[in-house]
Chain A
Amino acid sequence: MSVTEEIRNFVVENFLFGDEAGLTDDSSFIKEGIVDSTGILQLVSYLQERYRIAVDDEELTPENLDSVRRVAAFVEVKRGRVAAGA
């Protein structure tokens, strides 16, 4: 399963009670009321555990985290850095 699919599944299971109707990879979590601030922290904990990345407080921004596509891209960049030893 790709990172995008995994994140999508996480969001659908944890925030949409399994109902993925209407969720696109670009849906804004906050604007569309999919995830609240509690949920964002749950998502961040999931990313840290599942992908073994550290998410810095400075990185809690909509640019990094506000849609399935953005989260996936963020994870890929962070993992790339881990792999490169940076």
Chain B
Amino acid sequence: MNGCVHHFLENSASRRPDKVALVHDGERVTYRRLDRTASRIAAFLIERGVQPEDRIVLLLGNGVQYVASYYGILKAGAVAVPLNLQTGPEALTRLCEELQPAGIIMEREGALLRTPLQFLPSVRFVLFADAAAPAGEGGAWGWDQALKGEELPPEGRPVADTSLASIIYTSGSTGAPKGVMLSHANIVSNTRSIVEYLHLTEDDVQMVVLPFFYVMGKSLLNTHVAVGGTVVINNNFAYSASVLRQMAEEGVTGFSGVPSTYAYLLHRSPLASFRDRLPALRYCTQAGGHMAREIKERLMQVLPAHTKLFVMYGATEAAARLTYVEPERLAEKIGSIGKAIPGVTVRVLGPAGEELAEGESGELVASGPNIMLGYWGDLEATARVLDRNGYHTGDMGYRDGDGYLYVTGRKDHLLKVGGHRVDPQEIEDVLMSSGLLLETAVLGVDDALLGTRLVALAAPLEGAADHLALLAHCRAKLPRHKIPAEIRLVSLLPKHPSGKVDRASCLVICGAAPTTTS
């Protein structure tokens, strides 16, 4: 028995009840209080008739209520389905039809919610996180009323570690988002591996600017709750100076982001002037996609000398983490995603499932206790990515002589331009190496003549770039067929709330409908 995700909270609450678990907007919540609130939520859910493995939709921003609800749902043996806060009414209705949730926990009453309430017989209650809502009328509950009841006693509802804990929707770089089913054992094993390689202890204080509904945000929460550390929630990353100030004030030891988080920190924040004000900052982690070499190198210069940079790789389907580069070897293995984390195996496989030799390019396939159960309600999609070899990441790459893995691009991002296979990541890397850009995305736009035409959307650093200089740079470094037909300068790239580049919206900017590429 590996234990369940909510046992992390229960164990930390019994070991260090008075330790601060969460800091948010001036509020400091101890482990005791957090655990008791979660237990009240669990009792409330059971009172509403929630059965084991019932889905509960969470539509909350990062905050104390999110965390209490998340662990409360798990304690009740139900399945936490955190959704992107920007989910529109139509998408929400579609997701609810697919999920048949027993209940919804959300921030405030909006037009959004009447639809599922009215039309979905599965929804038995909606819990509003703002306290003013009515008590129980028409299935609507306010937070304070919901918390008035008794707490669910420890093990009040036994949960098997093999049972489904959470469904997390992928941001879906291609196609519709898919619901990744993660069991308690998936999340617990991955949490333990991460704690091990980051050497997390109860002295760690994590600054969280990524949303908890995104799998990396969820990992930050679970790993710190597991060790009895402190999570500082700051939803104001747009105001980077205030985030850095809070990191200094709270003695933050760890910061985590996706590539755009770091591009932003380097170029649009006073990070350099905070170099001497972050003595506690032990490490920074980066995941959520490929980060340009220039950004990694600049970060190593700009971050305080004692701050280690962990470059990591993962997938929602892997409960978050698959590989990492030890900071000591980052300079030498700058383009690598590192090696598999403890307990996980990542191999490079050819089309017939055969393992490839070093240097040979194939698909990265992962196996381990963290690999998902499958996609919710989609056996076909599940069968496409899960087989006896493990989880097919869809990422192409190779392994070097030291066993370090490299991702060269995504299988489904490969473009066919005039008969050549082109990987947009390679062109994006060349564009970034000009040192003129904040960020860029290279896309394939349908073209009557060429089939596909390469268009680069490029966000220049302040007043630094013109497209001719960028083209000249590409010409010097790339064969002719890989040079973008057009470089369009934009102020910024569209992003998902996780900070990842939204390629579908990029295509719309290019004036093209999203296309399927192969």
Contact = CB atoms under 8 A, between A and B. Distances in A.
B489 to A, nearest CB: 13
B410 to A, nearest CB: 23
A37 B209 CA distance: 11
B495 interface: yes
Given A42-B491, A57-B269, A37 B241 contact: no
A37 B264 contact: yes
B369 interface: no
Interface in A1-38: 29-31, 33, 35-38
Q: Please indicate which of the listed interface residues A35, A39, A42, A58 has the most CB atoms of chain B within 10 Å of its own CB.
A: A58
Given A33-B85, A37-B264, A41-B268, A60 B240 contact: yes
A30 B237 CA distance: 9
A62 B235 CA distance: 11
B119 interface: no
Contacts of B269: 57, 60
Interface residues of B, number: 21
Contact of B242 (A33, A41, A61): A61
A58 B243 CA distance: 11
A43 to B, nearest CB: 9
| A: contact size bracket | 20 to 34
Contacts of B239: 30, 40, 60-62, 65-66
Contacts of B301: none
B238 A58 contact: no
Contacts of A63: 242
A38 B85 contact: no
Nearest to A58: B270
B237 A37 contact: yes
Interface in A34-77: 35-42, 45, 56-63, 65-66
A66 B269 CA distance: 16
A57 to B, nearest CB: 4
Contacts of A40: 238-239
A40 B242 CA distance: 14
Given A60-B268, A62-B236, A38 B494 contact: yes
A34 B183 CA distance: 35
A51 B21 CA distance: 44
Contacts of A33: 85-86
Contacts of A56: 270
Given A37-B264, A41-B268, A58 B491 contact: no
Given A36-B497, A37-B237, A38-B492, A58 B85 contact: no
B264 to A, nearest CB: 7
Interface in B151-183: none
A41 B273 contact: no
Contacts of A65: 239
Contacts of A57: 240-241, 268-270, 273
A40 B235 CA distance: 13
B270 A41 contact: no
Q: Please indicate which of the listed interface residues B86, B239, B269 has the most CB atoms of chain A within 10 Å of its own CB.
A: B239
A57 B264 CA distance: 11
B299 to A, nearest CB: 16
Nearest to A38: B492
A30 B491 CA distance: 20
B120 to A, nearest CB: 24
A72 to B, nearest CB: 17
Nearest to B86: A33
8 contacts: A30-B239, A41-B491, A42-B491, A56-B270, A57-B269, A58-B270, A60-B269, A61-B239
Interface of A: 29-31, 33, 35-42, 45, 56-63, 65-66
Interface of B: 85-86, 235-242, 245, 264, 268-270, 273, 491-492, 494-495, 497
Given A30-B235, A40-B239, 17 more contacts: A30-B239, A36-B238, A36-B497, A41-B268, A41-B491, A41-B492, A42-B492, A56-B270, A57-B241, A57-B268, A57-B269, A60-B240, A60-B242, A61-B242, A62-B236, A65-B239, A66-B239
